[in-house]
Every structure is written in structure tokens, then in C-alpha cells.
Amino acid sequence: MTATEQTQASEPTEGDVGERVKIFDTTLRDGEQAPGFSMDRRAKMRMAHALEELGVDIIEAGFPQASPDDFAAVAEIARSLKQPTICALARCQEVDIDAAGRALEQARHSRIHLFLSTSPLHREHKLGKSKNEVIDIAVNAIRRASRLSHEVEFSAEDAMRTEPDFLVEVFNAAIEAGATTLNVPDTVGYVTPFEVADMFAFLRANVRGAERVVFSGHCHDDLGMAVANSLAAVSAGARQVECTINGIGERAGNAALEEVVMALRTRQPHFNVHTGIVTKHLYPASRLLAQLTGQPVPRNKAIVGDNAFAHESGIHQHGMLKHRGTYEIMRPQDVGATTSLVLGKHSGRHALRQRASDLGYVLDDAAMDVVFERFKALADRKRTVTDEDVEALASGADPEHTGPWRFTHLHTSSHLGGGASVSLKLTHEDGRTVSEAAIGDGPVDAMLRAVERATGEAISLADFNIRAVSEGGDAEGHATLTAHHDGHDYRGSGVSTDIVEATAQAVLAIVNRIERQVPRRAAAAHS
Ligand code: KIV
Ligand code: ZN
């Protein structure tokens, strides 16, 4: 590190300095396919809009041949988003490529992302194909995909464990067939930064036409090196990084987008590249994903964790007061992590809408009505309404909380030594009103039974999580439930200063989601 760099550490270089590194976000594909992170179509749409606002260059929206839901999500994202390139994943098989092409038909900029294993282990045990056969399959697939999308990316699956000379042959053929992005995945998260840099340098020096294509890094975190490996790829000439918000993804996850981006920005003089990411949207995007998947961000997570900018120790605080640069290499506001106490019971609708929008939630008038009403009720119960409260309110503004079923009465009681009872009254938007009561092992169990009886929807609890989203005795609790119904997983969440009420909202959100989705699934199955 140079002396100049040292003084610049807390004030990153702004603007387009050095070459552009494209950010390819695969939260909705590699991220979403990991256990615990699945999202329904509406959640994917919300995430896609947040990614567009964040300024990612490419959104990998899904794997259309995997399921009708995936196909529909990719098609809707392709139709709705204007700025980023929309990408769909496909195996090197005609059915996959054609499905990807159809799903991307309405995209302004489309990319089909083909993948095929190239490593000796995969060739022998997964594909049962020779080297020449692998090359032929890749070439035919790339030619077909080139006719169906604006551009084609080719991924050599398990590239990092592939013989470098063979990888050069595969990439030579891929470029001739029409691929313009060559991805070099560390599929199993096996290699170290030095090996990554060597591989990229070798490929750029030996692949015919290397200067006409973009080399891309795609690293998994099995040994905790996904971000370091992605940065090593950039140092050695990769000009695309594939990553996910909060680092979600297969097994231990993918490289975390926010970490890659902030490392490139904070250490700009070292890497001499830039990205198009609007970094103040990083924190809202991270929190939105946590809300949509029900998976909280660990406190100590780099860039977006609650502790990422917290300075507890007296020695650090003393240093910070003298010069922030002593212990701070990035400013919280650079990533949109403002934790100021902003709103109270005298705040108006405009201030609330503005704060929600700063946090990444764009609310239309109908959603705003619901959020404002709940905000006023909360502000009456709490002295101050924090950003976390606003996030919780805004993310709870989904129509899933407003119908078709609504609570009109709820009473719960827990008994010392175990057991709980619930009585409730639910009203349906078609005018029906149902009263039910149930007992159970605890309030959640009793609530599920009562709601099941009232609505007639059989659901079984798969996962239950409750956490405080703000601080103090009057903190709001965020309940997230996952339940099975008819072979599908449904997730619902609720927020309240009363955790039993938050749980009740989450249960109802699931039932409402089932009621709204079952007719859609039935229609899709018959179309
Ligand atoms: O990890 C991997 O190899 C992948 C490919 C589909 C690019 O996700
Ligand atoms: Zn992957």
C-alpha cells in the first residue's frame, strides 16, 4: 500500500477510474436455489427491482427449464426491467436453451448462460463424455443460444479443477461459436487466490481471441475464500464478477456482492477498476433480501451486519473522535447504513414515505395507507421509530397482510408448565366471518390449529424464527414462518411489538399466500 493510499483509505476514489468490472448478480438463481433462501415470484420481482436500483449490470433471474414458476419469474423480470441485462441459465441441452430463449423474449438485453462440466472428475463421473465430446456439445449449444438471445455466456463448470490446456481448447471453441463472456467457476470452492490469479493469467495469455471476450469469476465459499478469490480474478484481468447479496448460495454460498464491490471501491488505487454499483443501496438491498427470505443478516457480517460500523470499545471511540480514519475504512452512509433515530409520533406521511424510500422500499398509495396506519399505532406505543422499525413496517406492507383473510379478534393465553390456547375471529374479503378456538403445545401450535380450522387450509410448520428488529423493551419482533402445504413451501412474516401478534400475522400471511397461489398453480398446470 502506498502512502497516498493510506491517507485515502477512508475517502474512496469517486467516479469511473480504471476499467469497468461488470457485476453479475445471481441472487435469484445460485442464491435462491440454496436451502432456506427460496422466494416466490412476487419476492423475486421485488428483489429484481432492488437489484436494478443498485445498478448491477446483469441479473441472472433463474433457470427457466427448472420449473414453471422459475420460467414465469424470469419472463416477468425480463418484461419489467429496463436497465440491466437479464440472464437465464441453461444446460447445454436443446430443451433448456429453448426455454431460456422463450423466457427472455421480452428482455431489452438478454443473455443465455450455458454451463457444462469440463473437469476430469465431472467428465468421467457426471457426464461420461470425452474431451472432444464436451467441446462438441458446448459448441452446438452456444450456436443455438446465439440465435435466441442478444449474447451468450459460457461457463466451464468446475473450471478451477480442469486441466488448464484443455480449458484453453474449450474456450477457443466457445469464442468461435459465438460466446462473448467466458466464466471460470470455482464450483466447489476449492482453490486459493494465488491459483485463481494464475489460472486467469494463463487463460488470458493463451485463449485465441481473449481480448474480444470478458473473463468472469464465479467463486463459492466452501473454504471461506469466495470474495478473496473473486478479487484475485479481477487482479488477473477478470472484468465480470458473479456474486450474490449477503453471499447466499449453494452450500457455504457465493461471493458476497457487497463485499466484492466495497473492496474494489475502498481499495480503488490498488485494483484500479470501478463498478457501476450505487453503493448507498447496498444496505437496503441486503435487508430486503433478509426480509424476503426470512434469513437474518449475521451481526458481524462485513459491510451490512449490525456491527459492521459499531465502535464499542472506548479506545476506538476515542480515536474515532479525533479522526474517523483511525478505525473506519468506509463510512456507513457509503453503503446506506444510517442508523439514526428519525421518526416519531408527530412525523407525517411524507417523512415516512421518504424514509422508507431511502431504505429501498417504494410504496404505492395503497401500501402507504397500510404502512402509515401501522406507523401511527407504533409511534403511539414507542417513543422513537427507528430505521429498523420503518423497514419492518414497510416490508410488512405486502398485500399478503391485507387479504383475503383478516383478523377481527385474537386472544391468546399461555399456561405455566406448557400448553396455550387461542381464540380468534377471521373475516374473508368475500364477507364470510369465522370464529374458532384451539389449544396446543404453545401459542404457535395453538394458533396454527385455530387458523387451520377457520380457513380449512392444512399447513404443517417447517421453520419458525423470531427476532427483535429494533432495540429496547418496546422493540418490534419479526416472526418468520415456513410451512408445507400440498407439496410446496410457503413463507410468511409478521411484525409487532407483541411477538404473539407477529406470529399470528405470519400464520395468516401463509394462509393468504396459499389462497392466492393455489388457483394460479392450478391454472399453470392446465395451460
Ligand atoms: O458454481 C457453478 O459452477 C455454477 C455454474 C452454473 C456457473 O453455478
Ligand atoms: Zn455457482
Kindly tell me the burial class for residue 388, based on how many C-beta atoms sit within 10 Å of its own C-beta (0-12, 13-18, 19 or more): buried
Instruction: Work out the percent of the chain whose per-residue pLDDT is above 70.
Output: 87
With a 6 Å cutoff on the Cβ, whether 449 touches ligand 1 is no
> What is the average pLDDT across 444-465?
86
The ligand placed nearest to the CA atom of residue 157 is 1
- Which ligand 1 atom minimizes the distance to the CA of 89? 6
With a 6 Å cutoff on the Cβ, whether 155 touches ligand 1 is yes
Domains of the chain plus CATH, in order, are 21-293 (3.20.20.70), 310-395 (1.10.238), 405-526 (3.30.160.270)
Contact 375, 387 (CB under 8 A): no
**Rounded distance from Cα 451 to ligand 2 centre (Å):** 40
Residue 239 has pLDDT above 70, yes or no: yes
- Which ligand 1 atom minimizes the distance to the CA of 155? 7
Please, which residues bridge with residue 25 across strands? 59, 243
Contact 461, 444 (CB under 8 A): yes
Residues 77-113 have pLDDT tens digits of 999 999 999 999 999 999 999 999 999 999 999 999 9
With a 6 Å cutoff on the Cβ, whether 361 touches ligand 1 is no
Ligand 1 pocket mutation pick from 162, 218, 243, 244 by most atoms within 8 angstroms of CB:
218
d(CA 460, CA 276): 44
State residue 418's pLDDT score. Answer: 74
d(CA 328, CA 326): 6
pLDDT band at 356 (very low <50, low <70, confident <90, very high): confident
For ligand 1, atom 7, the nearest C-alpha belongs to: 155
**Rounded distance from Cα 371 to ligand 2 centre (Å):** 37
d(CA 241, CA 235): 12
With a 6 Å cutoff on the Cβ, whether 185 touches ligand 1 is yes
Q: Cell 480449458 maps to which residue?
A: 167
pLDDT band at 434 (very low <50, low <70, confident <90, very high): very high
State residue 214's pLDDT score. Answer: 98
Contact 332, 339 (CB under 8 A): yes
With a 6 Å cutoff on the Cβ, whether 512 touches ligand 1 is no
Listed residue (233, 224, 299, 225) closest to 264, CA to CA: 233
pLDDT band at 75 (very low <50, low <70, confident <90, very high): very high
Residues 399-430 have pLDDT tens digits of 445 578 888 999 988 877 778 899 999 999 88
The ligand placed nearest to the CA atom of residue 91 is 1
DSSP 114: E
Contact 385, 394 (CB under 8 A): no
**Rounded distance from Cα 187 to ligand 2 centre (Å):** 6
User: Is residue 316 helix, strand or coil?
Assistant: helix
> What is the average pLDDT across 485-491?
78
**Rounded distance from Cα 187 to ligand 1 centre (Å):** 6
The ligand placed nearest to the CA atom of residue 117 is 1
pLDDT band at 175 (very low <50, low <70, confident <90, very high): very high
> What is the average pLDDT across 23-36?
95
Burial 316-326, CB ≥16 within 10 A → b, else e:
eeebeeeeeee
Residues with Cβ < 8 Å from 509, sequence gap 6 or more? Answer: 398, 400, 401, 492, 493, 494
With a 6 Å cutoff on the Cβ, whether 115 touches ligand 1 is yes
- Which ligand 1 atom minimizes the distance to the CA of 220? 1
- Which ligand 1 atom minimizes the distance to the CA of 185? 3
For ligand 1, atom 1, the nearest C-alpha belongs to: 187
Kind and range of the H or E run holding 125: none
For ligand 1, atom 3, the nearest C-alpha belongs to: 187
Number of H helices, E strands in the chain: 18, 18
Strands annotated E in 374-524: 385-386, 405-414, 420-428, 433-440, 460-468, 477-485, 488-496
CB atoms within 10 A of CB 2: 9
Of the ranges 33-37, 357-361, 378-382, which one carries the lowest mean pLDDT score?
Answer: 357-361
Listed residue (34, 96, 36) closest to 71, CA to CA: 96
State residue 349's pLDDT score. Answer: 86
User: Is residue 437 helix, strand or coil?
Assistant: strand
Please, which residues bridge with residue 466 across strands? 479
d(CA 504, CA 141): 50
> What is the average pLDDT across 426-452?
89
Most confident of 206-210, 453-457, 522-526: 206-210
Residue 8 has pLDDT above 60, yes or no: no
Of the ranges 275-279, 424-428, 495-499, which one carries the lowest mean pLDDT score?
Answer: 495-499
Residues 316-328 have pLDDT tens digits of 656 666 677 777 8
For ligand 1, atom 4, the nearest C-alpha belongs to: 187
Residue 227 has pLDDT above 90, yes or no: yes
Contact 342, 385 (CB under 8 A): yes
With a 6 Å cutoff on the Cβ, whether 218 touches ligand 1 is yes
Count the alpha carbons within 13 Å of 421 in the hemisphere toward its beta carbon: 4
Higher pLDDT, 362 or 251: 251
Of the ranges 227-241, 313-327, 424-438, which one carries the lowest mean pLDDT score?
Answer: 313-327
Following CA atoms 73, 78, 79, 82 in sequence, which dihedral angle do they give, to the nearest 10 degrees? 130
- Which ligand 1 atom minimizes the distance to the CA of 115? 6
Of the ranges 34-48, 91-105, 353-367, which one carries the lowest mean pLDDT score?
Answer: 353-367
Listed residue (312, 222, 175) closest to 34, CA to CA: 222
**Rounded distance from Cα 517 to ligand 2 centre (Å):** 29
Residues 362-380 have pLDDT tens digits of 788 888 998 898 888 888 8
With a 6 Å cutoff on the Cβ, whether 253 touches ligand 1 is no
pLDDT, averaged across the chain: 88
Ligand 1 pocket mutation pick from 63, 118, 187 by most atoms within 8 angstroms of CB:
187
The ligand placed nearest to the CA atom of residue 249 is 2
State residue 399's pLDDT score. Answer: 45
pLDDT band at 148 (very low <50, low <70, confident <90, very high): very high
State residue 313's pLDDT score. Answer: 60
